[in-house]
Structure formats: C-alpha cells, structure tokens
Structure 1
Amino acid sequence: DFGLFGQGLAIGPTLLHPKARGEVRLRPSSLEQNATNAKSKDYPIIDYELFHDEEDISRLIEGIRRTQSIMAQPAMAAHEPTLLHVRALSDRLGVDTDEYWREYIKRVGFVVYHPVGTCKMGRIDDPASVVDPELRVIGVGGLRIADASVMPDITSGNTQVPTAAIAVQMVRILKEKYMPGDGAV
C-alpha cells in the first residue's frame, strides 16, 4: 500500500559511462542558405541512440542482478520487496529472465540527468570533434561553446564543477585574446 503515508523504495541501475553515442542534428530548414525561412523555434533533432550497444544492455542487466542481490540481503528482505514488471513483456518472455530485462531496458530505459558530449571537444582532424581545444566550433567563424556539451566523455560525478571549469577556461581564452596582459581571471 502506497497510500498517503505508505513507504516505498525504487532502485534503478544507471550507466555512468555508456558506450553508445547519440547525436544532435539541425533540421533541414535550419541549414538553408537563406535562414529567413527557418522557423524561429526550429528545434534540433536529438537522438540519444540509447541502448544500441549490446555491452550497455548487458551491463545494465548486471546492475539489475546486483540490485536483486542487495534486496535479498536480510536487512532488505525483511521489508518484503516486490518486483514490479511489465505484464505485456513478462507474459511473453517470463519474469526476471535476461530476455525480459533486455526488452524492458530497450522499451523503458531513459537518460538520467546530465547528457554531455553533443559538441565534443577534440583535435581538428578528428571527424567526431565539433569544437577545438580553444572551444571554437570547427568550420564556423566567431562561434565558441562553453558548456557540458564539449566534454568528450561524462564524468562519474555531477557535471556542475567540470562545466564551471570549462567556463573559467573560456574566460581565460577570451581574456588572452581580447585583453592580453590584463591580469588573472
């Protein structure tokens, strides 16, 4: 019973370092030479490419199995935890099989919190790089990016401090370029 004062616990394994890589693309109307026809809210196309890597799915299933092991320990088992499942999947694949969890992950899995790397920083000759080490967008004059999107890989902790460090680096770069010899940041 999860009534007004009921109790509950939910545990969800999370991949801190997924192998799969998504992409962000501009809509064709945003790419027209004469952008006056583009809608003012021409949102980008975001494809996370979630769970397209079999290793990611296998690692999540390992996380589910580890979670089940934790919940089976006496301190947790005393609370009589219940595994919730998707009936449409369990009727077809059985409850708690690897096949069930594989399908469950593909259908129900989602991005948690801080996606990064949509504008990867890297070497100019790396075709996956969007910005160079000076945070300039490769091939676009006068445009720089200073946020978590330039991180080639996600950190294991919150992205706030690394993002602030990227911003500080941007300030240093701009001060050196536009205000040389003007002191520390």
Structure 2
Amino acid sequence: MTDTINGRAVLHGADPLFPARWSPRAFTGEAMPQELLLSLFEAASWAPSAFNGQPWRFVYGHAGTPAWTPLFDLLVPYNQAWAKHASVLIYLVSDRFRRTPGRDPSPVRSHSFDAGAAWACLALQASRIGWAAHGMAGFDVSRSHDVLGVPEADYQVEAAIAVGRPTDASILDEPYRSREIPSLRHPVEAFAFEGRLGG
C-alpha cells in the first residue's frame, strides 16, 4: 500500500515523520522560546557518532539579539532574502579531532558524517514540534571561522540552519514563493545497490 504525505509517496513503509519533514523558507518570524530551541539541540545530542565522540557543535543567535547580525551577515544574499523571517540562525560545526582526556587529539575521518547525523535529528525534532529547520550551504565559508570563533585547523563549518515556524508562502517574493513545496526524492532503486554500486 502506498501512502502519500506532503505529496510524497511512501512505497516501502518508512515512518511518516520522514516525509512529513521538509525545508520551507516561509516563516512567521515569531520568537522561538529558548526551551524549544534546546529541545532541538537535545535531539541532536542523541545522534550516533564514532566512539561516542559527538563532534557536532552549534553556534546560534535568536532574531533581534546581538548574536543574530553577524550570523545573518555570513549568509549569501539569496539566503538572506528569505532567512530574514527566521526565528533563529544556527551554524553547524564539526570538530576534526577526537579529544580524550590524557591523550593527544587524534584526527576523526567521520566528523562531518557524525555532524550530519546530528543535523538530521535536529531537523526531525523541529518538524515534530510544529517548527521547521532549513539547512543552507550558501554562506561565506572563508569568514565563518573567524565570525563563529572556531579555529579552522580544529573545526569545519558544515552548514547554516534557519529555524522558524512555517507560514503561508505568500510572504515570499519570487523565485522563492513558487518553490515553497516539499521536494520529491529519487526512488530507493536509484541509490541502493546490493553488492556493488550500480550492480
């Protein structure tokens, strides 16, 4: 039996929480209570990570606070045009090293992979509580380490994230308004292969 959620077909029994989550750009701009934001970070904390290293770090700012402006200014103009309505901006950072007390830091190849798992948990939690998180690669990477206070030798700035309560697309200008629908996904058969890629 095929279920359809947000115009997305569920063919293999995935839990509805996955197709229910999407990345809108239209937000109300209302303030997000700190406790709700902390629930997003708490959800992220339960992501799996290599040797439980938990390499993810989040730098955030609420709209209308001094922390917001430098984070907003890092975004490319295309993202600033709609993210100005978000309630919170977050930058996801990953620690390149495993830091064990009593030992020298050692490189961790999976730091980005683990941080991505934390982002997914954060985004799903936002969706579950009636808010939304929209990840962005469009920001000034070259300035981000200095603005966020994270040494480039130790940390990688992975993504920016806008968080807000979704609202009607009519608040958006074009080309954003017409794109304000959940995107579709490739069928499982297009990316999952038994034994060998493309096999």
> What TM-score comes out, normalization by structure 2 length?
0.23
Structure ID, larger Rg:
1
Structure with more of its chain in strand, by fraction: 2
Q: TM-score, normalised by structure 1?
A: 0.24
